């Protein structure tokens, strides 16, 4: 089986290779193709004890991989994903290019892998903040039906990319020689600005939480509002999620349902100060949920604190898991 990673030298692409190796794709049963922009062609990447030579995206298309994991930006995905799919390759794309496209499944595998049909050659990976929240609330929605979500996110600089990490690290060192990717300093600061501002005052990152959550849960009746905050953190994204259900619930049942949700780990022992944090989630594939408590200000309402490594489950791991489920179906 041939598997291509497009954007293999980037932050998420590098993590995809790590996840592939961890999940057993480093054996001789699999040919791993690493593709990137022209400036990276010819470089080598260490994978499973061997050196892989970076090829151009055009060369990767000619090699006709079975699957292509994309993390190279929306414009690259729009240009090259159809070229791969024309060769019979199943593309799993991590950019925003295809998420809202009619007929393109938007997939969190534990939640809606059944939406992928044999004819789907392009599959969209949701936004990182959407993935972790939807996984945490999916079973609660099935049982109690969500009416409204109020979301506040505290998003790691890793969600912006390597240059954002470099900005944070440079500011920590008081080194003024760096490329500024944020409008303000991020060290010892935070700002309510993720993505681009829209005409209605919301940002593109906030709008993704609205549109993608409804599509994945296949319920466009859910009222959703969000505020995205960028914080000086590297380990992962955190979210405060307030949920109003159509039906009432017992707190013990909610906790048990969360514990039974595949891919979710409950960390909720307030007597011992146990709750999810980015420093704990970093490098892990699970979504962590804690601070589980009833909202006494509104009927049938609940508060959750949800944390995950946005480069792992929020991007690379989710894409690899989609591919694994499709391989199982074959």
The distance between the two most distant Cα atoms of the chain, rounded to a whole number of Å, is 60
Residues 222/144, Cβ–Cβ less than 8 Å: no
Nearest alpha carbon to residue 65 among 103, 121, 18: 121
Q: What is the DSSP letter of 274?
A: B
Tokens 């500024």 locate to 180
Q: From the candidates 141, 174, 193, 237, which is the catalytic residue? A: 237
Residues 135/209, Cβ–Cβ less than 8 Å: no
Q: From the candidates 128, 174, 187, 193, which is the catalytic residue? A: 128
Quote the distance between the C-alpha of residue 161 and its chain's center.
13
Tokens 């506040």 locate to 152
What lies within 8 Å, CB to CB, of 57 at 6+ separation is 6, 35, 36, 37, 72, 76, 80
Query: In terms of C-beta density within 10 A (0-12 exposed, 13-18 middle, 19 or more buried), how is residue 146 classed?
Result: buried
- Catalytic residue status for 128: yes
Nearest alpha carbon to residue 324 among 107, 106, 23, 17: 23
- Catalytic residue status for 193: no
Give backbone dihedrals phi and psi of 91, rounded to 5 degrees, phi first.
-100, 130
Nearest alpha carbon to residue 172 among 86, 233, 259, 242: 233
Dist CA 92 CA 5 (whole Å): 10
Residues 45/52, Cβ–Cβ less than 8 Å: yes
Q: Which residues have a catalytic role annotated? A: 128, 237
């Amino acid at each position: 089986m041939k598997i291509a990673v497009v954007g293999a030298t980037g932050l998420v692409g590098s993590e995809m290779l790590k996840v592939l190796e961890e999940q057993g794709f480093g054996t001789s049963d699999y040919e791993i193709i690493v593709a990137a922009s022209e400036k990276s062609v010819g470089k080598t990447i260490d994978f499973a004890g061997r050196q892989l030579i970076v090829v151009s995206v055009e060369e990767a298309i000619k090699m006709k991989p079975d699957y292509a994991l994309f993390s190279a930006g929306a414009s690259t995905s729009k240009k090259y994903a159809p070229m791969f799919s024309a060769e019979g390759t199943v593309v799993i794309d991590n950019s925003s290019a295809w998420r809202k496209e009619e007929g393109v499944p938007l997939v969190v595998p534990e939640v809606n892998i059944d939406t992928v049909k044999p004819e789907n050659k392009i599959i969209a990976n949701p936004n990182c903040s959407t993935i972790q929240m939807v996984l945490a609330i999916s079973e609660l929605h099935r049982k109690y039906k969500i009416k409204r979500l109020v979301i506040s996110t505290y998003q790691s600089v890793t969600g912006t990319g390597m240059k954002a990490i470099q900005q944070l690290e440079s500011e920590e060192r008081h080194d003024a020689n760096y490329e500024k990717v944020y409008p303000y300093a991020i060290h010892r600061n935070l700002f309510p600005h993720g993505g681009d501002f829209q005409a209605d005052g919301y940002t593109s990152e906030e709008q993704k939480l609205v549109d993608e959550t409804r599509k994945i849960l296949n319920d466009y009746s859910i009222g959703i509002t969000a505020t995205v905050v960028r914080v000086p953190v590297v380990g992962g994204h955190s979210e405060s999620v307030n949920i109003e259900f159509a039906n009432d619930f017992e707190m013990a049942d909610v906790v048990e349902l969360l514990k039974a949700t595949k891919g979710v780990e409950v960390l909720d022992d307030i007597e011992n100060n146990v709750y999810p944090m980015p420093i704990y989630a970093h490098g892990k594939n699970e979504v962590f949920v804690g601070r589980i408590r009833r909202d006494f200000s509104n009927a049938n309402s609940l508060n959750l604190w949800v944390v995950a490594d946005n480069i792992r489950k929020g991007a690379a791991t989710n894409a690899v898991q989609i591919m694994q489920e499709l391989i199982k179906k074959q």
